[in-house]
Amino acid sequence: MIPKKLKILTFAFLLALPAWAAEKVVFTMEAPQVVELGEQFRLAFTVNAKGQNLKLPDLADFEVLMGPSTSQNTSFQIINGVSSQSVSFSYLYILRAKKEGKFNINAASITVDGTEYKSNVQNIEVVKGSAKPSTGGVDTPTSTPGTISKNDLFVKLNLDKRSLYKGEHLTATIKIYSRVNLNGFEDISIPNFEGFWAQDILLPQQISLQRETYNGEIYNVGTLKKTLLFPQQTGNIQIGAVKIDCIVQQRVKKSQSMFDDFFDSFANVKATIVSEPVSVNVSPLPSPPEGFSGAVGRFDIRSSITSRNVRENDAITIKLDVNGNGNIKLINPPKISFPADFEVYDPKTNSNFNSSDQGLIGNITFEYLFLPRFAGTYTIPALKFVYFDTSTKKYVTKATEEYQIRVEKGDGTHAQTVNAVAKEDLKQIGSDIRYIKAANLKLKPKGYTFFGSFAFYLLYIGGALTLLAIYLLNQKRIRENANVARMKNKKASKVALKRLKEASGHLQTGADEKFYESVTRAFWGYLSDKLTIPASELSREKASEELSKHAVSTGIIERFVQILDTCEYARFAPGGGSAKMKELYDEATEVMSVMEKEIK
């Protein structure tokens, strides 16, 4: 008998077969983008199905040293009852360039189940060969051991534009260029982009190095940060330098012996690299037409209205949706000319966008809520949306449709209900005239006065005592709040522990970057409150100096600075896992507790 589990597995396998057969065929070609003249490199073709009749593109500019070397990889798995299979067939060639230049390798083709598929096109740049001898994959130092040549390791802040209009975006890219063995970073200092509104472009947390050419030389290049910058002022704006403390593994020879030709020693060398400052020339926008609300880029608009036929005091919403590419986040709500008899509330704004090298792409929505107070027929004129098109360098005006609103008379018995608006945002209409109260009233004899009665004196004395109590309590509150520094000092420990508790939550969920950010914010916030120093004025040097003045031991100050350095490094070069994060969290808690006891 066939076991029941085996039957189920076989059945699931048979069900998955049609899905495998219907999988889309993907045929790709891979090769390095930059190679040296005479350097051997790999040209690989991969297809996710068994193919035949592989036809190579023209490789006349390259010497084929080996190939094809074929391999096959198949994997099968079942997760939560869902079967999946992946198959990969690879064809590998070893090539060598014959001459310098930029070459275009056209698409290859392969036949799968009678259908021909083509690969992508590959561009390869061949540069002059390096004079350095081959070292088996480890770079040879071009300078004295213990130092790093500026030609072997440097950082650049690249801008895709140096001249633009106010509100137009540019992309700032920070890249590190290396011909040495990078082991990591100790500290990375990024300019604050003063004068710009900045939006980071999402990059992988792990920095990967790619081969690129610079000044005719091949470097391993890593992108540290990409940011969209929208200038908020005109003129020449200076962007500061990027400073990075790098750890480089460098080959050294410690002695002269017969084994030096076979065995080398390595040492970690600290190298500080600084980029050149760059400047941007920002031109003012031409004189704008009426209705311009700050939009720069290329946009489309559409509008909608919740209802055209309502009763008095019923709420109506006009929704304006602006979508496109540009400074979406910085667009102000356009003005709509509402009739005077409408009560209009401030528009609500919602934005949704993605940042990429092409700019901010997405949409921003404005919702205008208004209430017609009187019956009649009203016209809301077409809304004109004006933006500056950076491609044509001209203003473009787009208009929505005109709305006719018919308002019928309400019954007047109650205030109308408005959805999605808080009660305190609305005014009550028709409530200024009250009905005559018809309930039984308690009458008093003619000539009766409250003044001088027992109840009057009782109320008078009670009121005086109440005012005295309020005065004394207020004086106490004023004395307690007079010393703001003492109040902040009193709350510093609780606030810091609360922020560390936030870091503990990120530790449990494995959110590495948020964990390190929370630890850093906890320390700076704690010191700002404890030492009564604005957070904007705090730095490592300032904090160390102030802690020394408050009799904090040198060891605790050094541990505090080390924690900040560790957090800063981990944000740009994550690694170590939860064990390292837990160790850092315990260290931060201990240091903060000791600082709380020592600060005088």
The number of C-alpha atoms within 13 Å of 341 and in the hemisphere containing its C-beta is 14
One-letter-per-residue 3-state SS of 544-560: HHHHHHCCCCHHHHHHH
pLDDT exceeds cutoff 90 at 395: yes
325 plus 225 within the same structural domain: no
pLDDT higher for 192 or 483? 192
- pLDDT for res 430: 47
Question: Per-residue pLDDT tens for 296-312?
Answer: 999 999 999 999 999 98
pLDDT exceeds cutoff 50 at 424: no
The mean predicted confidence, pLDDT, of the chain is: 80
Tokens of 382: 């077409």
330 plus 264 within the same structural domain: no
Contacts of 376 (CB under 8 A, 6+ apart): 341, 407
Q: Alpha carbon of 565 to those of 270, 449, 559, 572: distances in Å?
A: 15, 79, 10, 11
| Most confident residue range from 328-332, 509-513, 594-598 | 328-332
274 plus 311 within the same structural domain: no
Contact at 8 Å (CB) between 230 and 197? yes
Portion of the chain with pLDDT greater than 70, in percent: 79
SS3 at position 519: helix
Measured between alpha carbons, how far apart are the two ends of the chain, in Å?
A: 82
Q: Using pLDDT thresholds of 50, 70 and 90, give the confidence band for residue 425.
A: very low
Question: Per-residue pLDDT tens for 264-295?
Answer: 677 888 889 999 999 999 999 999 998 898 89
Average pLDDT on 322-347 reads 89
SS3 at position 161: coil
Domain membership of residue 98 (yes or no) is: yes
Query: Comparing C-alpha atoms, which of 224, 180, 222, 219 is closest to residue 201?
Result: 224
Domain membership of residue 431 (yes or no) is: no
- pLDDT for res 539: 83
Residues 334, 338: Cα–Cα separation, whole Å: 12
Average pLDDT on 120-147 reads 61
| Domain interval for residue 252 | 153-283
84 plus 174 within the same structural domain: no
Position 210, amino acid: Q
303 plus 388 within the same structural domain: yes
Contact at 8 Å (CB) between 250 and 148? yes
111 plus 187 within the same structural domain: no
Question: Per-residue pLDDT tens for 197-217?
Answer: 999 988 887 788 888 888 888
Domain membership of residue 471 (yes or no) is: no
Which residues partner with 35 through β-bridges?
A: 126
- pLDDT for res 503: 80
Contacts of 225 (CB under 8 A, 6+ apart): 172, 173, 174, 190, 200, 203
- pLDDT for res 70: 85
Question: Final residue of a domain: which of 127, 145, 166?
Answer: 127
324 plus 278 within the same structural domain: no
- pLDDT for res 253: 62
Residue 568: CATH number of its domain: 1.20.120
Residues 524, 564: Cα–Cα separation, whole Å: 9
pLDDT exceeds cutoff 90 at 122: no
pLDDT exceeds cutoff 60 at 251: yes
Domain membership of residue 250 (yes or no) is: yes
Residues 97, 459: Cα–Cα separation, whole Å: 104
- pLDDT for res 31: 86
Query: Comparing C-alpha atoms, which of 351, 347, 348 is closest to residue 335?
Result: 347
Average pLDDT on 432-448 reads 62
Provide the b/e sequence for 312-323 (b: ≥16 CB within 10 Å): bbbbbbbbbbbb
Domain membership of residue 368 (yes or no) is: yes
221 plus 166 within the same structural domain: yes
- pLDDT for res 5: 55
- pLDDT for res 580: 80
Residue 59: CATH number of its domain: 2.60.40.10
Contact at 8 Å (CB) between 395 and 386? yes
Domain membership of residue 469 (yes or no) is: no
Residues 509, 427: Cα–Cα separation, whole Å: 47
Residue 180: CATH number of its domain: 2.60.40
Domain membership of residue 136 (yes or no) is: no
pLDDT exceeds cutoff 60 at 428: no
258 plus 201 within the same structural domain: yes
Between CA 505 and CA 510, with CA 509 as vertex, the angle to 5 degrees is 110
For 107-111, 248-252, 430-434, which range has the lowest pLDDT when averaged over its residues? 430-434
Average pLDDT on 317-322 reads 92
Domain membership of residue 441 (yes or no) is: no
Q: Based on the structure, what is the number of domains in the chain?
A: 4
215 plus 321 within the same structural domain: no
Q: Using pLDDT thresholds of 50, 70 and 90, give the confidence band for residue 541.
A: confident
Contact at 8 Å (CB) between 142 and 151? yes
335 plus 400 within the same structural domain: yes
Query: Comparing C-alpha atoms, which of 127, 124, 108 is closest to residue 116?
Result: 108
Position 59, amino acid: L
Between CA 124 and CA 209, with CA 220 as vertex, the angle to 5 degrees is 95
Contacts of 338 (CB under 8 A, 6+ apart): 344, 370, 380
DSSP-assigned states of every residue in 21-76: HTSPP-EEEE--SEEETT-EEEEEEEESS--EEEE----TTEEEEEEEEEEEEEEE
10 plus 118 within the same structural domain: yes
For 353-357, 417-421, 457-461, 534-538, which range has the lowest pLDDT when averaged over its residues? 417-421
Q: Using pLDDT thresholds of 50, 70 and 90, give the confidence band for residue 488.
A: low
Question: Final residue of a domain: which of 283, 302, 337?
Answer: 283
